[in-house]
A and B are shown apart, each in its own frame.
Chain A
Amino acid sequence: MKHKAKVLGLLAATLLASSAAFAGEVRVMWYSDGVEGEVIKDLLDRFQKENPDIKITLDNVAYKVVQEQLPIQLEAGQGPDIARVTNIKELASHWLDMRPMLKDAKYWDDNFGSTLDWMRPDGSDAIPGFMTQLTLTGGFANKTLFDQAGVAIPGEKATWDEWVDAAAQVSKNQSLPAAFAIDRSGHRISGPNVSYGANYIAADGSPAKVDDGVKAFGSKLVQWVADGKMLKETWVAAAGSTYRAAADDFINAQIPFYYSGSWQVANLSSKIGDGFDWVATGSPCGTAGCSGLKGGAALVGIKYTKNPNDVVKVMEYLGREDIVKEFSERTLFLPAHKGVVDKGGLKWVSTDKNVAPALDMFVKSAGQTLPAADALPSWKWANAYYAALVTRLSQVMAGEMKLDEAWAKMDQDIADKVAQAK
């Protein structure tokens, strides 16, 4: 009897010990565009030292894992405790509402309030997390190539046509394969579409039919590919809505102008080094404005976590003003924290002379985005629109269909996605 009690006691102690270890574990799923994986590891190590009762496991994964595998894990009611994601709005039902557990919810509303709608279901006041960075789409020019060709870099209010013409002159003079490239992504061309007057959102919040703004810029893109001005392979050499970046072509000085976004700054700086001088240009103008598109990656708690209080502790630490400031300075990401932005004085950690002016240009361009673009990050049908744009425009570029067919197919694709969701 005594022996049995001892065995049971030992078993109970073992169970308690194991559950205690489990209770304090926080698993973070993280992807990196640049150096942010190393920075977050350093920050979390410091938190770990101050909070030895919470065991943090940082899973550095490929972006594709976050895009394709995380949604399936979430549907199964599983996944990490915290994740860094870009598909923020559509998966909003899986995020943890930290509001009841936060020590100071007002701090979060005050400092992250402008982007909270991007990551919570419509009409909710939940606080699921915060944006690790704000991004803005915009262009980059290879200043060295422009100088060598004797072509002046277009000014701030230059139109898309002026930019492409100038880049084409450089391309011709320097015998380059093309004048420019835009990442193969519906998100990337949406700022320019809006600059030509596009509005994706109908009055009732549902997707509007493809309008003249989309048609204006879409037609230009197709023509630029046909003329050999836009690098053909970025958009044409893939099917469906597959994402393709053209950063390597810019880094290898194959194109003098590249339209992507602020998250490329660290990547360009680390890979170009002193290979050539480059500048951020903001977004070229259309008939309605010179708009880029805001976006970014969010760090969110997952509602299926078994340790919500520990998750909140980690998030409160990472959302602290001094930590956000340090993270932004070291990763060269634009902060989404109002306090950090308002105080200014960010000391970008880079010896590259191109970096600070580039980031300043993106901060400046953030004030030029149009309302139709600002509405997209929190609009749940944005991805449906983006996917249709990319799929059909690349078919036109490849010579598979005419533009008129493409507009009709886009409307059909978007309508199908809406019907499917009902």
Chain B
Amino acid sequence: MTIGSAIGQKIGAAIVAPIGWLAAIIDAPLKLWQRATGTTGMAAFFLAPNMLIFGVFVLAPFVINFLYSTTSGNAFFLPDRSFVGAEQYQRLLECGSYLDPSTCREDLFWKAVHNTGLFVVLQVTLLIVVSMITALILNREIVGRSFWRAVFFFPVLLSPVVVGLIWRWILQRQGLLNSMLYQFGYQPTEWLTDRFWAFAAGITVSVWAHMGFFTLILLAGLQAIPRDLYEAAEMDGTRPGRVFWRITLPLLMPNLLVVIILALIRAVQIFDEVYVLTGGGPGTSTLFLTQYIYEVGFASLLRNPGLAAAASILMGAVLVVLTLVQLQVGRRNEKKGARE
């Protein structure tokens, strides 16, 4: 036995010993508890702390939020507010045509719904494509591979506010991008005051900020694909495109589905970086659901917590659906993995 391993063993024993003493101390009361309540009681005992935290920080706020959505008035505290039943929901859902926000009583809510829907479709599509391409490149034997992986992951570590500010300085009227365009003889573009460009900027910045995380998941999936499949395809002279569609994509599908669902959930919740970047403008072109809720509930000159709560419940319902889909996909993958 070397000196190093002897020291390691002593340190290990020193760490394990107190745990053993603790186990011995709680052993007797736990046995008593189990005898009194049975195995079900033991499960409840071990789950209780987690359930308590879940109850206080998730369930109770949800219930309180729901109660708020059934009240009206300017008062902030629930007992001081008047009960109006489903009136806030009616107000949100009152529309001539759901396809035309201007016909809705709460037109800003529906504008936010439309913007969020369009954003989710475009951002998630672009995010998946860019993340996939990046993961495929980073999976190859390229020079400085670790460096490039770090580079692409770096934006994930930044605060969304920092992301928004950096891009605002780049895209504003006298920002970096327009200065560069001007240097090369082009006319400056209204990146943040033109409806089309502002929406495009929101998508681009959001993809830039989040792609590192999804690239990492896809990269892990790519590295789990057995190399011999590629070697066999190479020996058969299969074209690279066919290799991608017939080997890479099918075997990456479990990871890809998780990435899609997670990206969808994040896209529905989009707020901070785009809020800092555009403030929801021009007009309401980049006003998304979370910002609408924030503005109505907290930031407006005259707050309406009831309406904000009702909007957040409706948004929560969408997120629950997406989460259930994610769970279903996860379970299917698990079963598939078990069969294989």
A residues at B contact (CB < 8 Å): 68, 71-72, 75-76, 87, 90, 177, 232-233, 236-242, 244, 254, 383-384, 386-387, 391, 394-395, 397-401, 405, 409, 412, 417, 420-422
Contacts and interface: CB of A to CB of B under 8 A. Distances in A.
Contact of B300 (A238, A241, A395): A241
A237 B193 contact: yes
Interface of B: 72-77, 102, 105, 107-108, 172-174, 190, 192-193, 195, 198, 278-287, 291, 295, 298-304, 306
A420 B173 contact: no
Given A68-B298, A232-B190, A399 B74 contact: no
A336 B297 CA distance: 34
Given A239-B280, A420-B72, A398 B195 contact: yes
Given A239-B279, A401-B102, A72 B300 contact: no
Contacts of A90: 302
B302 A236 contact: no
Given A239-B286, A400-B285, A233 B192 contact: yes
A414 to B, nearest CB: 10
Nearest to B74: A421
Question: Considering residues B105, B278, B280, B283, which has the most beta carbons from chain A within 10 angstroms of its beta carbon?
Answer: B283
Nearest to A422: B73
Given A68-B298, A237-B193, A76 B77 contact: yes
A397 to B, nearest CB: 7
B65 to A, nearest CB: 16
7 closest pairs, A vs B, by CB?
A: A398-B283, A239-B280, A238-B279, A75-B76, A398-B282, A383-B301, A400-B283
Contacts of A244: 279
A399 B244 CA distance: 45
A237 B76 contact: no
A68 B299 contact: yes
A395 B285 CA distance: 9
Contacts, number: 102
Q: Is the interface of B mostly helix, strand, loop or mixed?
A: loop
Contacts of A398: 195, 281-285
Contact of B302 (A68, A254, A383, A394): A383
Contacts of B287: 239-240
B291 A239 contact: yes
Contacts of B107: 409
B302 A237 contact: no
10 contacts: A75-B77, A87-B301, A233-B173, A237-B192, A237-B279, A242-B279, A384-B301, A384-B302, A399-B195, A420-B73
Given A241-B300, A405-B102, 20 more contacts: A68-B298, A72-B76, A75-B75, A76-B76, A232-B193, A233-B172, A236-B193, A236-B281, A237-B192, A238-B280, A241-B295, A242-B280, A387-B300, A394-B283, A398-B284, A399-B195, A417-B302, A420-B72, A421-B74, A422-B73
Contacts of A68: 298-299
Most buried by A among B282, B298, B306: B282
Given A384-B301, A387-B301, A409-B107, A237 B281 contact: yes
B279 A420 contact: no
Nearest to B307: A420
Nearest to B298: A68
Contacts of A395: 283-284
B302 A387 contact: yes
A387 B302 CA distance: 8
Given A240-B295, A241-B301, A420 B74 contact: yes
Contacts of A394: 281-283
